[in-house]
Structure 1
Amino acid sequence: MPSLAGRTAPFPKSNIDVNLSDHYRSKIYSSSSPIKGDVTITTKRDVPFDSIQILLMGHTKSRVEGMNPHDVTHTFLKMTMPIPESLYPVPRILETGRTYTIPFNFVIPNQLTINACNHRRQSDRLQDHHVLLPPSMGHWEKDDMAPEMAKVEYQIKARVLREDDLGGKNVRIMEAIQTINVLPASVEEPPLNITEQDRLYAMHKTKSLRRNLLASKLGRLTATAIQPTPAVLKADGLHMASTPMAQVNLSFEPSSADITPPKISGVSGKVTAITFFSSGTISTYPNLGDWNQPFASAEKRGSYSTSVGLPPLATPKARWSQYLTSPARRDSGYASETNEESDSSSQKSKSKRRRQSSISGGASPVYHMAELQIPIALPTDKKMFIPTFHSCIASRVYTLHLSLAVSVGTATSTVSLTVPLQVAVEGNFEQDGGDLPSFEAAVEEAEADAHLRPRVLSAPQQEFTETSVLPGYA
């Protein structure tokens, strides 16, 4: 193993550097990726010191503008590389003209410790998100659609420390920082429960169709989107491992039985990246409800959104099936609905009631149903799509906006839907091959987690009651 005893440099100068093995500027690290390298130190004079630190750190930073801007930094990851005493020189002086080399070996963890999120939350499920590693944000070569107000960064830091003569506090006399980009592996999340209060999404849309503005209604078209499966990226972040399929269910209620269903003449789409950030800890899912509503809490909040168009989408052919309207639901009449268009999530139940509504007064006794399957490919050649994440002071979510061009005769109408889209990264736990390295810091953190993990207490089994014998202690 290299030693701090070092070697004489031909042209010495004071410097400290973090050198990563097999590293290049665009390299991406994932969950369980090893990070190997060394720290080199050279000095122009003798430098007394007390200790050297090598750290793997993760920070989330947010800045909320206003009359009094708030800058907040949350350190969610801090791993220390142990340095054996045998590598330190005796006495602890960095001698003039020598180069000292200290190796290090980290592993990107799969999950943070439970102490990474210890603030109040409205659900325990939210903490499960907050203890997952967030991806790097704001430091990619390609635009990752992040604002200046929210960043996530991972760094290898090397420090030479000396104790203050007054209070014994460590003072940094030398420091070097190497930033790396991390795309942690993620898993598929269950579909969101979208309600009327979730202003970010529009899962249903109902529209009355006419041949022209002055013509009578031909019928009513209801489009209902189903949340697609995640868009899964490979560990390099550049290629898709799986392509999600957007599903849109169509229901057409004609004003009379002789009116044929409309045609889908075109489909277009875009993906919007929304970044949420706060000057205080976030206790809810920021994409659910209304993030911009007034809050009683003192922290300031902000959001930033930007969109990118999807590659051209193939126009799916709607295969309509005809059904009879239930005669048991003849209570109001088809023409009783006055709203031309509605975005609320209650449209699904309303559409069902309309299909079962009265066939009296000239209403059609039939309705038509169709299902559209639309493959979605992300434009990874244009933008960097970091995975969806929720952390203590910042989040990133995506929405998929679909516009359906509907043709009736010579007239064309547009029906638009906005649905949640999860972006995930597949696991790559054998990156770089070979066994993954380990070190004492990882063991210490695992032991701390085991110590702090909640215990479940329960009554012993009947066979062990009123005895001094318990399982495992025979």
Structure 2
Amino acid sequence: MSNRPRPTAPASTVVESAQKHIAPKINMDIHIDNHYQSKIYTTSSTVSGHVKVTTSHHSVPFDRVQVLLLGTSRTRIDAINIPQATSHTFLKLTMPIPDSYYPVPRRFEADTTNTIPFHFVIPQHLTLNACSHRIPNDALKENHLRLPPSLGDWDKDDFTPNMSRITYSVRARIYHQDAEGKSVRAMEASHDIKVIPIVAEDAPLNITTQDKLYVMSKSKSLRKSILSPKVGKVTVSANQPAPAMISSDGHSISPTTAQLDLVFEPTSNESQPPKVVSVTSKVTAVTYYSAGGINQYPNLKDWSRSFGADGRGSYSGSIPIPAVSVGNAAWSQNLTAQGRRDSGYDSELRYESDHSANGRQTPPSGHDSRKRSNNGAPYYYGMKVHVPVQLPAGKKQFIPTFHSCISSRVYVLWMTVTLSALAGTSSTVTVGVPLQVGLGLRGGGQVDATGLPTFEAAMEEAALEVDAYLQPRTMSVPDIEFCSQLPGYTERRNNRVTERA
């Protein structure tokens, strides 16, 4: 073995050889102006910023740069045979980039940084192409063309399963030409944002017995004990309350009030109405998702029996609301229709009508001294209970009610009335009504980073102006000094006053 040293290559040759094995490095970052992690964008909000492209070591040729604002809905159905994954891009806005922002020739030089600005405005409605599947209902079609809110990936739990996601993102792409001259995607960067669009108040739903999600009214028979006869029947009914509106920053929700109508029908005159101990309530968020286009309102009818060729699923989560004190509520006694007839009120009216019409006195029909057999009391008891509803925005992330092509979100307000009979036995009656959640415009006059009023503040000011313009006005005859007078009017008026005197 020879110990002679090997000849070394020149330094320049070593550097050139190393450079041939160093691939060109390119970084692409998206910066959104005045953005922070918990910021919420809404309808007509601006999403502006710039894309920063940094290269190192070598220059990189490119064909074009594309910047988009994308809204995508994704669902996953874990079927028995093959899982079904569906992706639907309902929003795609492309930022036009002038040629002046591109270097000439189109090449990112080594160790340089290139900046490409972008500016988007979140629209109020989607285009007709966003919903292309068959829908037999025009109202549902209009719902599918509204922007859905971001679903999942919030800082707080938003009652969303992993099988359903709705994301908004600013996405930048770099394209280059391949050997065949086609433009292919070489690199991509993305920046997610949270969007809650403005949702106006919808009309109350027409709930029928076929709508299995809701229980608008429920009756229950009451007994003093298990073996004792019935003392009466209590019926609890409720209507859909006004919507709960989320503030523009998403940190608070305006309260709303639901009303319960209680009716107790006693079986005898000795039966007394039960005591209303308390009213507890909770809110259930139901998320519907499907592998194909949904052609109905999923919260109406029976969603579990409406399976088609595409897989469907639902997920629900609940959160309690503080109990309500009913100390001021009291039962009121009211006569039934039969009770009004038995009291002679209707008979006396018919008797007086017959007497005045025929001129002869005949006793009213059924009006005698004999006691009629009574299967129940001729009266019932009624009570109205107002239930305040304050959604806990600090614990959960509530998003507006929406219906889109493959995902939906609705809320159910469950109210449980606890009743106590005279013997100490208690029973409960539960009803569930739809609760709409929307986005309010009352923001308190915010300003953006430029010092100009935000969209929410401008809308609030415009709403106040409209309210002031539409206030009722009092019409009256103006005073005489404000009336236009024709020549000789004063003299004629004075003459008339003198004649009357």
Instruction: Report the alpha carbon displacement of residue 255 of structure 1 after superposing the two structures with TM.
Output: 1.1
Matched, 1:275 2:287: yes
Matched, 1:253 2:271: no
- Residue by residue, what CA displacement relative to the aligned partner does 1:166-206 show, whole Å, maximum 9, x if unpaired? 372x3111211000011111111111111111110111110
Aligned residues of 1:81 and 1:106 also touching (Cα < 8 A): yes
Alignment correspondent of 2:255: 243
Matched, 1:195 2:208: yes
- Residue by residue, what CA displacement relative to the aligned partner does 1:262-293 show, whole Å, maximum 9, x if unpaired? 22101111111111000000010000011111
Residues 370 and 177 (structure 1 numbering): CA distance in 2 closer, same or farther, change over 3 Å?
same
The equivalent position to 1:414 in structure 2, one of 425, 428, 442, is 428
State the one-letter code of the partner of 1:244.
Answer: T
Instruction: Report the alpha carbon displacement of residue 119 of structure 1 after superposing the two structures with TM.
Output: 1.5
The equivalent position to 1:33 in structure 2, one of 38, 41, 45, is 45
Residues 316 and 135 (structure 1 numbering): CA distance in 2 closer, same or farther, change over 3 Å?
farther
Secondary structure of 1:14 counterpart: strand
State the one-letter code of the partner of 2:168.
Answer: Y
Matched, 1:263 2:285: no
Distance in 1, matches of 2:418 and 2:404, equals 38
Matched, 1:78 2:95: no
Residues 250 and 312 (structure 1 numbering): CA distance in 2 closer, same or farther, change over 3 Å?
closer
State the one-letter code of the partner of 2:323.
Answer: P
Distance in 1, matches of 2:110 and 2:261, equals 75
Alignment correspondent of 1:310: 321
Secondary structure of 1:236 counterpart: coil
- Residue by residue, what CA displacement relative to the aligned partner does 1:216-259 show, whole Å, maximum 9, x if unpaired? 1111001111111111110122202x311111111110112233
Q: Normalising by the residue count of structure 2, what TM-score does the alignment of the two structures yield? A: 0.76
Residues 329 and 114 (structure 1 numbering): CA distance in 2 closer, same or farther, change over 3 Å?
farther
Distance in 1, matches of 2:139 and 2:221, equals 41
Instruction: Report the alpha carbon displacement of residue 139 of structure 1 after superposing the two structures with TM.
Output: 1.4
Secondary structure of 1:312 counterpart: strand
Distance in 1, matches of 2:188 and 2:145, equals 28
Alignment correspondent of 1:384: 397
The equivalent position to 2:59 in structure 1, one of 46, 56, 63, is 46
Residues 428 and 129 (structure 1 numbering): CA distance in 2 closer, same or farther, change over 3 Å?
farther
- 1:22-421 matches, cutoff 5 A: 22-44=34-56, 45-66=58-79, 67-166=81-180, 168=182, 170-240=183-253, 242-295=254-307, 297-315=308-326, 317-327=328-338, 360-409=373-422, 410-421=424-435
Distance in 2, matches of 1:428 and 1:54, equals 33
- Residue by residue, what CA displacement relative to the aligned partner does 1:392-425 show, whole Å, maximum 9, x if unpaired? 0000111111111011121211010111111111
State the one-letter code of the partner of 2:331.
Answer: W
State the one-letter code of the partner of 1:35.
Answer: V
Residues 328 and 398 (structure 1 numbering): CA distance in 2 closer, same or farther, change over 3 Å?
same
Distance in 2, matches of 1:312 and 1:207, equals 22
Matched, 1:434 2:452: yes
Aligned residues of 1:316 and 1:374 also touching (Cα < 8 A): no
Aligned residues of 2:326 and 2:385 also touching (Cα < 8 A): no
Distance in 2, matches of 1:307 and 1:71, equals 27
Instruction: Report the alpha carbon displacement of residue 13 of structure 1 after superposing the two structures with TM.
Output: 5.1
Secondary structure of 2:36 counterpart: coil
Distance in 2, matches of 1:167 and 1:210, equals 85
- Residue by residue, what CA displacement relative to the aligned partner does 1:327-386 show, whole Å, maximum 9, x if unpaired? 2999xxxxxxxxxxxxxxxxxxxxxxxxxxxx8444111111111111101011111001
Greater share of residues in helix: 2
Distance in 2, matches of 1:315 and 1:112, equals 46
Of structures 1 and 2, the larger Rg is shown by: 2
Aligned residues of 1:160 and 1:172 also touching (Cα < 8 A): yes
Distance in 2, matches of 1:416 and 1:135, equals 31
Distance in 2, matches of 1:121 and 1:245, equals 34
Aligned residues of 1:316 and 1:373 also touching (Cα < 8 A): no
Secondary structure of 1:83 counterpart: coil
Aligned residues of 1:17 and 1:176 also touching (Cα < 8 A): yes
Distance in 2, matches of 1:118 and 1:32, equals 24
Instruction: Report the alpha carbon displacement of residue 114 of structure 1 after superposing the two structures with TM.
Output: 2.1
Q: Normalising by the residue count of structure 1, what TM-score does the alignment of the two structures yield? A: 0.80
Number of residue pairs the alignment of both structures matches = 395
**RMSD in angstroms over aligned alpha carbons?**
2.0
Instruction: Report the alpha carbon displacement of residue 319 of structure 1 after superposing the two structures with TM.
Output: 2.7
Aligned residues of 1:52 and 1:160 also touching (Cα < 8 A): yes
Higher relative contact order (CA 8 A, sep 6+): 1
Secondary structure of 2:323 counterpart: coil
Runs of 5+ consecutive residues of structure 2 not aligned to the other structure: 1-23, 342-371, 456-501
Secondary structure of 1:127 counterpart: helix
Secondary structure of 1:97 counterpart: coil
Distance in 2, matches of 1:188 and 1:137, equals 20
Instruction: Report the alpha carbon displacement of residue 14 of structure 1 after superposing the two structures with TM.
Output: 1.8
Distance in 1, matches of 2:111 and 2:435, equals 57
Distance in 2, matches of 1:61 and 1:112, equals 17
Aligned residues of 1:61 and 1:73 also touching (Cα < 8 A): yes
- Residue by residue, what CA displacement relative to the aligned partner does 1:45-89 show, whole Å, maximum 9, x if unpaired? 211111111100000000000121111011010001111111111
Residues 86 and 360 (structure 1 numbering): CA distance in 2 closer, same or farther, change over 3 Å?
farther
State the one-letter code of the partner of 1:123.
Answer: N
- Residue by residue, what CA displacement relative to the aligned partner does 1:287-313 show, whole Å, maximum 9, x if unpaired? 001111153x31110111111111333
State the one-letter code of the partner of 2:125.
Answer: Q
Distance in 1, matches of 2:87 and 2:78, equals 15
Secondary structure of 2:119 counterpart: strand
Secondary structure of 1:384 counterpart: coil
Aligned residues of 1:157 and 1:177 also touching (Cα < 8 A): yes
Provide runs of 4+ in structure 1 moved above 4 Å. Answer: 428-431
Runs of 5+ consecutive residues of structure 1 not aligned to the other structure: 1-11, 331-358, 438-474
Aligned residues of 1:228 and 1:421 also touching (Cα < 8 A): yes
State the one-letter code of the partner of 2:48.
Answer: K
Instruction: Report the alpha carbon displacement of residue 435 of structure 1 after superposing the two structures with TM.
Output: 7.6
Distance in 2, matches of 1:326 and 1:395, equals 45
Distance in 1, matches of 2:442 and 2:174, equals 34
State the one-letter code of the partner of 1:146.
Answer: T
Aligned residues of 1:223 and 1:250 also touching (Cα < 8 A): yes
Instruction: Report the alpha carbon displacement of residue 324 of structure 1 after superposing the two structures with TM.
Output: 1.4
